[in-house]
Amino acid sequence: MHELHRAEYLQALGVTSYMPRFVLPLAPEPRQAELPPTEAAADESQRASGPLPRSAAQLVEVPAQPSGAATPRPAPQPEVLREVGDITRETRAAPRPSELAPPRQEVAPFVLSCWWLGEELLAVDSREPGAALPVESLFNNIVRALAWHELPREQDRLRWPLAENRFAGPAAASDARDTCSSWLEAASARRPVKSIWLMGAQARDFCSPVALEGPAGEWNGTRLLAMPSLSELLREPARKREVWQLLRANYPEQTRVR
């Protein structure tokens, strides 16, 4: 491929070609690029005219004329130096502003309890290990109030981080969000449900596949509800009224007075 074809390819790709007018400092010796055969004569005349100038100052120097020369060559005008300076300023890379990385948010290890109730519900609860609270009994009471207590049930538990390393520092919140939200999406694809409850801060912040602007939302046709964890409801019983109002608003058929 000769030089003209190379330049055409670069232009088609949107790459700007730049050729200095003199040898730059610490640059290798220039060599003549391969040109089409039709331009061989022009190539020879260019090569005979002399080597590439070593600096910008040589562009304004009047070359010595051999004795007996018919007509002296005109000296370049001072505008040449200004042109070279303009090219240098345009091609000089502008200093990029320093980009400060956002502070790394760390998250302490946590445990999530998960319940599947048939095709109706996937509940993800933020647990407090070692609290010894009757969270199972409270969840069973909520399920019974919705008349879902006879549905087939499966239970699982998700720990973060997935692999504990006592020599490593706290994990990043972004890693926990990526892992837990991916787990929830995979679990929903494997066992589709109509509703997903995100109970507690860890379940809401790290498992939600979409950002929730309020206590209720929707994702791929699935109802999303954010509510306090079972442990929070047991520690603050007054918040049970808040949860019951949320359930009545979203499940009017299941919560109506029979």
Annotate 36-83 with DSSP letters as a single string. Answer: -GGGHHHHHHHHHT-PPPSSGGGGTSPPPPPTT-SSPPPPPPTHHHHH
Q: Using 50, 70 and 90 to split pLDDT, how confident is the model at 185?
A: very high
Average pLDDT, the chain: 78
Least confident of 1-15, 47-61, 118-132, 216-230: 47-61
Q: How high is the pLDDT of residue 86?
A: 65
Structural tokens at position 115: 């319940």
Which has the minimum average pLDDT: 92-106, 107-121, 223-237? 92-106
Q: DSSP assignment of 187-219, as one string?
A: HHHHS--SEEEEESHHIIIII-SS--SSSEEEE
Is the distance from CB of 142 to CB of 117 less than 8 angstroms? Answer: no
Bridge pairing between strands 121-127 and 195-199: parallel
In percent, the amount of the chain with pLDDT more than 90 equals: 38
Cα 209 to Cα 183: distance, rounded to the nearest angstrom:
10
Mean pLDDT of 189-194: 92
**In contact, 115 and 138? CB cutoff 8 Å:** no
DSSP state of 129: T
Q: How far is Cα 160 from Cα 176, in angstroms, rounded to an integer?
A: 7
Q: What is the DSSP letter of 33?
A: P
Instruction: Tell me if the pTM is above 0.95.
Output: no
CA-to-CA distance for 146 and 251, rounded, in angstroms?
8
Task: State yes or no: pLDDT of 130 exceeds 90.
Answer: no
Q: Is the pLDDT of residue 216 over 90?
A: yes
Higher pLDDT, 211 or 103: 211
* pLDDT band, very low/low/confident/very high, at 88 (cuts 50, 70, 90): low
12, containing H or E segment: helix 3-12
Would you mind telling me the total number of residues written for the chain in this entry? 258
Residue 113, classified by CB atoms within 10 Å of its CB into exposed (0-12), middle (13-18) or buried (19+), is buried
* pLDDT, mean of residues 125-148: 89
| Per-residue pLDDT tens digits for 21-57 | 777 877 887 777 776 666 545 555 555 555 666 665 6
Residues 6+ positions from 21 with CB-CB distance below 8 Å: 53, 56, 59, 84, 87
CA distance 69 to 227: 96
Assess contact for 199 and 227: CB atoms under 8 A. Answer: yes
